[in-house]
Amino acid sequence: MQSRALEILVGFFVCIGVAAVFVLTFRVASLDSVGTGEGVYRVTAQFQNIGGLKPGSAVTMAGVRVGRVQDIVIDPDTFQARVTLALDGQYDAIPEDSSASILTAGLLGEQYIGLTPGGMLDPLKDGSEIMLTQSALVLENLIGQFLSNMASKQE
């Protein structure tokens, strides 16, 4: 074993190791066709309550994934959650009056955004806002409504 080759191999090993430490620490950026690359346009939507939605969650239409949630912030004026959706460029004809609702996969599953197409001819473009939104169903609120309904029926 040449000592130079040996040093190169050790350097390589240390590099891989340190890279692995970094990857673990910053938790592996998602390698994704829909992300921040080309052919992506961004629209925003405001929700009363996003439940467990996270950046990286799927955006679907009729069950097919058309994009991803890119970022979630609080709107300083309305105090609602402002969600930025990165939509795939090939779906460029989604009507402007489409509605977005936060749905749950399964009972305890991941939350995602479902788009329901509207009927207008103008499509959503980069920077436009989806006006019709439906918040996540929060289980506590549902149970509360159910209980108050029961109580009012009793009277």
Partner 1 sequence: MSLIGNLLAGLGRAQFFLLQILVALPATLLRPRLVIQQLYSVGVLSLIIIVISGSFVGMVLALQGYRTLIRFGAEESLGVFVALVIVRELGPVVTALLFAGRAGSAMAAEIGLMKATDQLSAMEMMATDPMKRVIAPRFLASVLAMPLLACIFSVMAIGIAGGHAIGVELLGVDDGAYWGQIRAAVEAQDVIDSLIKSTIFGIAIAWIAVYQGYHAAPTSEGVSRATTGTVVVSSLAVLALDFILTAFMFR
* Options 15-23, 36-44, 75-83, 123-131: segment touching partner 1 (CB under 8 A): 15-23
Question: Which residues inside 45-64 make contact with partner 1, applying CB under 8 A?
Answer: 54-58
147 belongs to the binding site for partner 1 (CB under 8 A)? no
Site membership for partner 1, residue 9 (CB under 8 A): yes
C-alpha dist (Å) from residue 62 to 1, 23, 100? 61, 35, 12
Tokens 């009972």 label which residue? 107
Dihedral sign (CA 21, 55, 68, 87): negative
Taking the complex as a whole, the smallest distance from the CB of residue 9 to partner 1 amounts, in Å, to: 5
For the record, the structure tokens of 24 come out as 């673990």
Report the phi/psi class of residue 102: left, alpha or beta, with left for phi > 0 and alpha for psi in -120 to 50.
Answer: beta
Using DSSP, state whether 21 is helix, strand or coil. Answer: helix
Q: 105 CB contacts (<8 Å, ≥6 apart)?
A: 111, 112
- The 75-114 contact track toward partner 1, x by CB under 8 A, reads ------------------------------xxxxxx-x--
132 contributes a contact to partner 1 by CB under 8 A: no
Per CB under 8 A, 12 contacts partner 1: yes
Distance between CA 75 and CA 62 in Å, rounded? 28
Nearest residue (CB) to partner 1, 1 versus 151: 1
Footprint of partner 1 (CB under 8 A): 1, 3, 6-7, 9-10, 12-14, 16-18, 20-21, 23-25, 27-28, 30-32, 54-58, 65, 68, 105-110, 112
